[in-house]
Amino acid sequence: MNPDVRAAGARVAQANDQVGASRLWQNPTLGLGLNNISVGRFNQVAPNVSRSDTLSYAVGLSQTFELGKRGPRSEAAKLHRDAFAEEYRGTLLGLLTDARAAMTRVAYLSARQQILDDSLLSAKSMANLTKIRMDRGDVSGVDHARLMLDSDRVGRDVSDNRSDLQDALAECEALLFAPCQADGASLASAEKSAGGEVATDDLNAAIEARPDLRALRFEQRAAIAEGTMFRRNAIPDPTVGVTYTRDYYEAAGNQPYTIGVSASIPLPFFDHGQYQARAADHRAEELAAIVQSTQRHAASDARSLVIRRRLLQSKLENIQKTALPRSNEVVSSTTTAYERGQISLTDLLIARREHAALELEEADTRFALFSVENELRRALGIDQNLVGQKPREDS
């Protein structure tokens, strides 16, 4: 449904039509002639001969035969079609990556919303409890005001995240042309779409198979084929014709029915495709340089993403296995100690804020790790099997 995909598919269809056009012969030429039209004084060579009796009518058919050009022209058209087919796959692959990122951003902001909502609920419950204790004179009004300020701060964070979530939903719907909902969205399910083992032993080999690079290589080969075609313009294309003549001037001894055969050959003295061939060669050089540059940048980006992925995995493992369990214990023991009057409200607020910040950091790290893995899949073209190949009507 995406217009970019439809446009890419239309370009493939156009290129396929060009393949058919490249195989056609040139159209024959039909010639019609009327000769021996008398102008001025009429020389009557025999009695009862009028001007109309001197006319002759001719019908001819001529055909130009290309020599050595249809083959490379058809080959270039096929390579252009293959390039557009790879561009179609590249477009679909890019949109797949973008759609995965958009849906996972919804899941990420939904997870953040859940954390912030829980924090807000806990802050409000704590403020209500402190209000009761303040009314009994167990805590001061300053402590209650501090809790209310903390609750207001969390409430503002909740509102900001809810706004970001609505933006993410709108972006997701615009990309997918379908409704997006945050209900039931979780980072765990979204992470599976970009997770899994990624072979990073030979990045260059994986990058070479990317659709955009394959398209560039097809275009390079098409430029080489076009250069061959232009060079063969030095081979003249003969034109052969056959003409039938009906001559009514028999009184002068002319033959009434005749057939003539003709042949013409152009002489490529000046323009024999030399400049078009050189332009095609330079185009091939340009595309080769673009392929090399694109592949080098892609390999550099992939290596950087691999390093970032490893660092984020290590950070996330530390948060999930060490920091979060320890933070849960701290919050639990701090809450118990506060209820027993062993620590101040300030210590409790600090512990709760640090725990909420750690939960948000864990969600942020998971989303950052997903983003890196998603971009790594794009850089290596890992999801090519999901987009398939644009079918073509002929070979």
What φ, ψ does residue 254 adopt, rounded to 5°? -75, 150
β-strands 257-264, 239-247 pairing: antiparallel
Whether 158 is covered by a domain: the verdict is yes
Whether 394 is covered by a domain: the verdict is no
Of the candidates 276, 275, 290, the one whose C-alpha atom is nearest the C-alpha of residue 220 is 290
Are the beta carbons of 74 and 23 closer than 8 angstroms?
yes
Q: With a cut of 50, say whether residue 393 has pLDDT above it.
A: no
Whether 387 is covered by a domain: the verdict is no
Helices and strands (H, E) in the chain, number of each type = 10, 4
Are the beta carbons of 183 and 8 closer than 8 angstroms?
no
Q: What angle do CA 134, 135, 136 make, to 5 degrees?
A: 90
Whether 103 is covered by a domain: the verdict is yes
Task: Give the domain range for residue 204.
Answer: 3-381
Are the beta carbons of 279 and 79 closer than 8 angstroms?
no
**Cβ–Cβ contacts within 10 Å for residue 108, how many?**
26
What φ, ψ does residue 54 adopt, rounded to 5°? -95, -5
381: left (phi over 0), alpha (psi -120 to 50) or beta: left
How many domains does the structure of the chain reveal? 1
What φ, ψ does residue 66 adopt, rounded to 5°? -75, 140
The type of residue at 184 is G
Whether 389 is covered by a domain: the verdict is no
Average pLDDT, integer, range 365-373? 90
User: The tokens of 102 are what?
Assistant: 């958009």
CA 356/CA 354 separation, integer angstroms: 6
Residues 6+ apart with CB under 8 A from 274: 230, 231
Whether 390 is covered by a domain: the verdict is no
CATH number at residue 342: 1.20.1600.10
Whether 393 is covered by a domain: the verdict is no
Range name among 229-238, 293-302, 386-395 with the lowest pLDDT average:
386-395
What φ, ψ does residue 34 adopt, rounded to 5°? -130, 115
Whether 395 is covered by a domain: the verdict is no
**pLDDT at residue number 326:** 92
Q: In the chain, what percentage of residues exceed pLDDT 90? A: 46
Q: Is 273 helix (H, G, I), strand (E, B) or coil?
A: coil
Average pLDDT, integer, range 222-230? 96
> Tens digit of pLDDT for each residue in 306-332?
999 999 999 999 999 999 999 999 988
Q: What angle do CA 345, 347, 352 make, to 5 degrees?
A: 95
Of the candidates 122, 118, 123, 129, the one whose C-alpha atom is nearest the C-alpha of residue 147 is 123
- Choose between 19 and 129: higher pLDDT: 19
